[in-house]
Amino acid sequence: MIVVVDYHKGNLKSVERGIAAAGGEARITDDAALIARADAVVLPGVGAFADAARTMEALGQTAVVRERIAAGVPFLGICLGMHLLFEEGVEGAPDEDDEASTHNARGLAVLPGVVGAMPKIDAAGRAYKVPHVGWNTVEPAGGADAFASPLFAGIAPGEFFYFTHGFIAPEGPFAIGETTHSVTFPSAVQYGEMAFGVQFHPEKSSDAGAQLLRNFVNIVKGA
């Protein structure tokens, strides 16, 4: 069973339907005991990092999601769910504009670094609309010719996915995909063999998103 974690942020039905269309069996729950027994975990979400982190902690979800990832069960974080993989996030924290603040919200700390605000001006001084909402391309990280991760099997570099976010993950060797909007940022990450995160919404990303969800379901079935 693929558990879709409900921490009371956003509509999860579209994610559940996307997994079902990809051939998976999904169940939405906020019950930490059920999450602890999951064969795979999907952590979606829309909202502020700090609020989501507090709610997950209050519901007893933080420790069990971290344990499931450590146990090597397949995991997919979507949008805010990807952000929560990191150590800290500024969104919704008291000092939201200061990534070095000691008041940042704590995430799952599976990946290192701080999720910060997307710049509104690029290095050349050009202004960009933030939040970043709409279709944009995903390229293999580091200028590679093709995606190396099984999450992107059958997906060509430069495919379009649907984004809606104003905060971005830090750079690091965990990045498997990248996108540019004012800056180039990690739009897909991987931890170990089974844990993934995507900045975009695959459930809203037409054929490319459907393929990515099929790939995740296949990873789950092969685990």
In the chain, what are the domain boundaries?
2-222
Across 70-217, the runs of DSSP E, i.e. the strands, are 75-78, 86-89, 105-106, 111-117, 132-140, 159-165, 167-168, 175-181, 183-191, 195-198
Model confidence over 80-93: pLDDT tens digits? 999 999 999 998 76
Report the pLDDT value the prediction gives residue 170, as an integer from 0 to 100.
98
- Among 88, 96, 178, 203, the one annotated catalytic: 203
Report the pLDDT value the prediction gives residue 165, as an integer from 0 to 100.
97
Report the pLDDT value the prediction gives residue 64, as an integer from 0 to 100.
98
Report the pLDDT value the prediction gives residue 11, as an integer from 0 to 100.
76
**Residue 8 among the catalytic residues:** no
Helix (H), strand (E) at residue 212: helix 206-222
φ, ψ at 19 (rounded to 5°) = -65, -40
* CATH number among 3.40.50.880, 3.40.50.12160, 3.30.300.130, 3.40.50.300, domain 2-222: 3.40.50.880
Between 84 and 99, residue with greater pLDDT? 84
Q: How confident is the model at residue 99 (pLDDT cuts 50, 70, 90)?
A: low
**Residue 201 among the catalytic residues:** yes
Please give the average per-residue pLDDT across 181-204, as a whole number. 98
Point out the least confidently predicted range of 56-65, 90-99, 187-196, 203-212.
90-99
Point out the least confidently predicted range of 53-62, 100-109, 154-163, 206-215.
100-109
Please give the average per-residue pLDDT across 23-47, as a whole number. 96
- Among 83, 132, 165, 201, the one annotated catalytic: 201
- Among 79, 88, 132, 178, the one annotated catalytic: 79
Q: How confident is the model at residue 103 (pLDDT cuts 50, 70, 90)?
A: low
What is the share, in percent, of the chain residues with pLDDT greater than 70? Answer: 95
